[in-house]
Chains A and B, each alone.
Chain A
Amino acid sequence: MSERLFGIHGAALELRSQRMGLLTSNIANAATPGYKARDIDFAAALAAKTSGAGTDQALAGNTLYRIPTMDSADGNTVELANEQLAFAENAVAYSATLSFVQGKVDTVKRALKGE
Chain B
Amino acid sequence: MPQSNPQTLNIFTLAQRGMSAQMVRMNAAASNLANAGSVAGSEAEAYRPLRPTFEAELDRASGLTGVRVTSVSPSDIAPIRRHDPGHPLADANGDVWEAPVDETGEMVEIMESARQYQNLVEALQTAKQLMLETMRSK
Contacts and interface: CB of A to CB of B under 8 A. Distances in A.
A24 B15 contact: yes
Interface stretch (B40-48, B62-70, B97-105): B62-70
Given A21-B11, A35-B65, A84 B130 contact: no
Q: Dominant SS at the B interface?
A: helix
A30 B63 contact: no
Interface string B121-136: 0110011001001100
Interface residues of A, number: 33
B89 to A, nearest CB: 36
Interface of B: 10-11, 14-15, 17-18, 21-22, 25, 54-56, 62-67, 112-113, 116, 119-120, 122-123, 126-127, 130, 133-134, 137-138
Interface of A: 13, 17-18, 20-35, 38, 59, 63, 80, 84, 87-88, 91, 94-95, 98, 101-102, 105
